[in-house]
Structure 1
């Protein structure tokens, strides 16, 4: 049985122009981003994570590959272990509901989030699963990311952080100063 919280319904009905369509998209998004612990145990964290990302329109680069993989059906067979090293989510429907899939993916060094309309502040907090490997992060044109979401990045060990076109970041200078202080070895661009 699938249960929808009252707050979720109210938020979707209040915020979406086409409330029925928005509610439907929100429910589908939660379903497609759900973490399947049994699948993670069966195939390992990297394959389960790759499946989640590809199912939601993102691309992955695997060890020993030059190109990003964007076709779910092009994943190697299940008996062939894979390791994700980069993630490119452009106009993807990934959301924080699925970020636990990053747990155990210890080689992801680069992540790009661009035009991810379901990405919210909670997702930024969940990037802590990648804190030991993530070096490059881009967050651009993701409309629901705010000051608070960006401040969750302080615990990462980034060397490059690119932030742009986040309309709900209200105190850009304060956020930038805080990130520069907490990420002293990181090249940060914020436009």
Structure 2
């Protein structure tokens, strides 16, 4: 019995390692691809490859089929919203977001690889500092006060949803820091 449970634990560990490795491959940034197809197309490809959805400016429908990405002249389709619910996006892929100029909304829900470094990287991008107005962080267990506080650099952020984030230890101080830096910010918090 002990040997069987030990083998099962080893198999589960190996399976987790394999999926972590594969997800890291999906998140690898191809800078040549970004140059070739533009930042919005390359970011859409990355996001869909990792299981997220995107909505382009002027469209109501969410795009989630990698093979169904719209084609046309470079720069025609601009990402307006990202829903990364249960996707495998991780810090190493966030450079894909660098050139996005029209991203207004982003939802990070049940993203096991989202951590403080992701939020710090997100908030350091000049284009997103000006465009991102709505951000949802829900059930991302690796996010702490440090990552949420880094969002103060998103000057256009008006609406922030924080829910089920066990790494947030001092929600009042974290919220106060954000509201001091971003007076127009409305924070909806359900961390209990």
TM exceeds 0.5?
A: yes
- SS of the residue corresponding to residue 132 of structure 1 reads helix
- SS of the residue corresponding to residue 161 of structure 1 reads strand
Distance 1:19 1:180 in 2: 42
Q: Give the RMSD, CA atoms, in angstroms.
A: 1.6
- SS of the residue corresponding to residue 82 of structure 1 reads coil
Distance 1:180 1:34 in 2: 34
Distance 2:14 2:170 in 1: 33
How many corresponding residue pairs? 176
Kept in 2: contact 1:43–1:78 (CA 8 A): no
- SS of the residue corresponding to residue 90 of structure 1 reads coil
| Aligned counterpart, 2:45 | 51
Listed as ranges, the matches of 1:59-78 within 5 Å are 59-77=53-71
Deviation at 1:77, TM superposition (A): 2.1
**Does residue 107 of structure 2 align to residue 112 of structure 1?**
yes
Deviation at 1:147, TM superposition (A): 1.0
Q: Deviations over 1:26-82 (max 9, x none)?
A: 211211111100100100000000000000011000012111111111101254631
| Aligned counterpart, 1:166 | 165
| Aligned counterpart, 1:3 | none
Distance 1:29 1:131 in 2: 27
Listed as ranges, the matches of 1:73-112 within 5 Å are 73-77=67-71, 79=73, 81-112=76-107
| Aligned counterpart, 2:29 | 35
Which of structures 1 and 2 has the bigger CA Rg? 2
Distance 1:17 1:181 in 2: 49
**Does residue 20 of structure 2 align to residue 23 of structure 1?**
no
| Aligned counterpart, 1:141 | 139
Kept in 2: contact 1:113–1:139 (CA 8 A): yes
Residues 147 and 72 of structure 1, relative CA distance in 2, 3 Å threshold: same
Gaps spanning 5+ residues in structure 2: where? 1-9
Distance 1:168 1:106 in 2: 30
Deviation at 1:22, TM superposition (A): 2.2
- SS of the residue corresponding to residue 19 of structure 2 reads helix
- The ranges of structure 1 where at least 4 consecutive aligned residues each deviate by more than 6 angstroms after the TM superposition are none
- SS of the residue corresponding to residue 42 of structure 2 reads helix
